[in-house]
Amino acid sequence: MGRFVTLGCVVALLSGCMAPDMSSEPARWTGLYTYGHEVSSFQPCNSDAGYWATLPAAEAERLSKLSLEKARRVGKPYQPIHVDLTGALRSNKGEQGFAADYDAILEVSAVHHVSRSIPASCGQPG
Instruction: Give all domains of the chain, ordered by start, each with its CATH number.
Output: 23-115 (2.40.50)
Compute, in degrees rounded to 10, the torsion defined by CA atoms 46, 54, 110, 86.
Answer: -40
Phi, psi angles (nearest 5°) of residue 34:
-125, 135
Among 48, 54, 65, which residue's Cα sits nearest to residue 89?
Answer: 54
Please give the average pLDDT of every successive group of 10 residues along the chain, which has 126 residues: 43 36 81 92 94 94 93 94 96 78 92 93 70
What is residue 54's predicted lDDT score, i.e. its pLDDT? 93
Beta bridge partners of 114: 83
What is residue 44's predicted lDDT score, i.e. its pLDDT? 96
Dihedral angle sign, alpha carbons of residues 40, 114, 108, 124 = positive
What is residue 74's predicted lDDT score, i.e. its pLDDT? 93
